[in-house]
Amino acid sequence: MAGTHCGPHAPRRGRDAFGLGLRPPFYREAMRGAVPVGWLELVTENFMVDGGRALHVLDAVREHYEVALHGVSMNLGGTDPLDEGYLRRLEALVRRCEPVRVSDHLCWTRHGGHHLHDLLPLPHTREAVIHVAERISRVQDRLRRRILIENVSSYARFAGDEMPEAEFLREVCERADCLILLDVNNVVVNAHNHAFDPQLYLSALPAARIAQVHLAGHRASGPLRIDTHDRPVAGETWALYAQAVRRFGPVPTMIERDEEIPPLEELLSELDAARRIAAQARAA
């Protein structure tokens, strides 16, 4: 399937490579173009509507910003057939807003017609690699562009896993010829939850496929780390981000905040920290 996709799928690396996840408290500012960032990431499903406020927001935001679409329920790892209706709506949305990137997760979200609204883990097996890669290829053919697949936070691992997570992610993406949305916070969370070395994880990834980075905060809960997106990015995550920049170069980077959303200035200053760390890492 390599080389068969056209469209604006290559990450644009001009101007400001730093962005934020668009959330309702900032809709107004974003619609006026008053959020000083290079691009905004939108949660795909929130804009899969026929009309009303969401599309009004989308069109206004699009006047000022490039946008990336980030889905949470394509169910790429699921065994239910791909959802035709979902793909049709996604296609229409892509046509409407011409996003610079379209992404979803390396996980499953639905089974037997029931949606679980969570990013659920896959066993790291050959069976899963082949299954997920084939589905990603079908979506890419359908959208006629490459999509990005994000590594998810997880709390369970299988006794019989056939490969480590980074290898699983790499195998899927190479087989499907898709790009990677690297969530650095999720690597930190999983490294802790499943006792692996996050640096080895990074070094196992195919650098040329890393097309976007997520940063976010998490919490400790008993022996586990939980991916909560409700606080600032942790020190460990910043440190791993610096290494990611050294390894993968200047990739479009953004902060995700979904709970306890602070005033915009606070998020912007956190994003400035990302700019500083990236600049230092590249200079080093």
User: Taking CB under 5 A as the rule, does residue 41 contact Fe ion?
Assistant: no
Hey, what's the torsion of the CAs at 235, 241, 246, 247, to 10 degrees? 130
Q: Report, in Å, the least distance between residue 60 CB and Fe ion.
A: 25
Main-chain phi, psi angles of 74, to 5 degrees: -75, -20
Nearest to 220 by CA among 193, 256, 200: 193
Taking CB under 5 A as the criterion, the residue among 124, 131, 170, 214 binding Fe ion is 214
- Binding-site partner at residue 128 among other proteins, Fe ion, none, CB < 5 to 8 Å by type: other proteins
Q: Estimate the crossing angle of helix 264-283 against helix 235-248, to 10 degrees.
A: 50
Of other proteins, Fe ion, none, which one does residue 177 interact with (CB within 5 to 8 Å by kind)? none
Q: Shortest approach of other proteins to residue 109 CB, angstroms?
A: 7
- The binder of 155, among other proteins, Fe ion, none, by C-beta within 5 to 8 A per type, is other proteins
156 touches other proteins (CB under 8 A)? yes
Cβ contact 29:35 at 8 Å: yes
Give the residue, chosen from 9, 23, 101, 131, that forms a contact with other proteins under the rule CB under 8 A.
131
73 binds, among Fe ion, other proteins, none (CB under 5 to 8 A by kind): other proteins
Please report the DSSP string for 196-241 in residue order: --HHHHHHTS-GGGEEEEEE---EEETTEEE----SPPPHHHHHHH
108 binds other proteins (CB under 8 A): yes
Burial of 225 (0-12, 13-18, 19+ CB in 10 A): buried
Other C-beta atoms lying within 10 Å of the C-beta of residue 223: 7
Residue from 22, 76, 128, 136 in contact with other proteins (CB under 8 A): 128
Q: Please give the Cα distance from 170 to 180 (Å, whole number).
A: 9
CB of 120 to other proteins, least distance (A): 6
**What are the φ and ψ backbone dihedral angles of 271, each rounded to 5 degrees?**
-70, -35
Q: Which is nearer to other proteins, 103 or 253 (CB)?
A: 103
120 is in the binding site of which of Fe ion, other proteins, none (Cβ under 5 to 8 A by kind)? other proteins
Segment holding 105, helix H or strand E = strand 101-105
Closer by beta carbon to other proteins, 186 or else 253: 186
Token pair for 75:
């169910």
Q: Is 157 in the site for other proteins (CB under 8 A)?
A: yes
Q: Does 171 bind Fe ion (CB under 5 A)?
A: no
Out of 66, 183, 236, 270, which residue is the one contacting Fe ion (CB under 5 A)? 183
Instruction: Considering the complex, state which of residue 62 and residue 214 has its C-beta at the smaller distance from Fe ion.
Output: 214
**Min separation Cβ 152 and Fe ion, Å:** 8
Residues 33-72 that bind other proteins (CB under 8 A): 45, 48-56
Residue 185: which H helix or E strand, with range? helix 184-193
Which of these ranges, 111-119, 140-148, 198-206, 272-280, lies near other proteins under the rule CB under 8 A?
A: 111-119
Write down the least CB distance from residue 244 to other proteins, Å.
26
In angstroms, rounded to a whole number, what is the distance separating the alpha carbons of residues 20 and 40?
Answer: 5
Q: How far is the CB of 265 from other proteins (least distance, A)?
A: 26
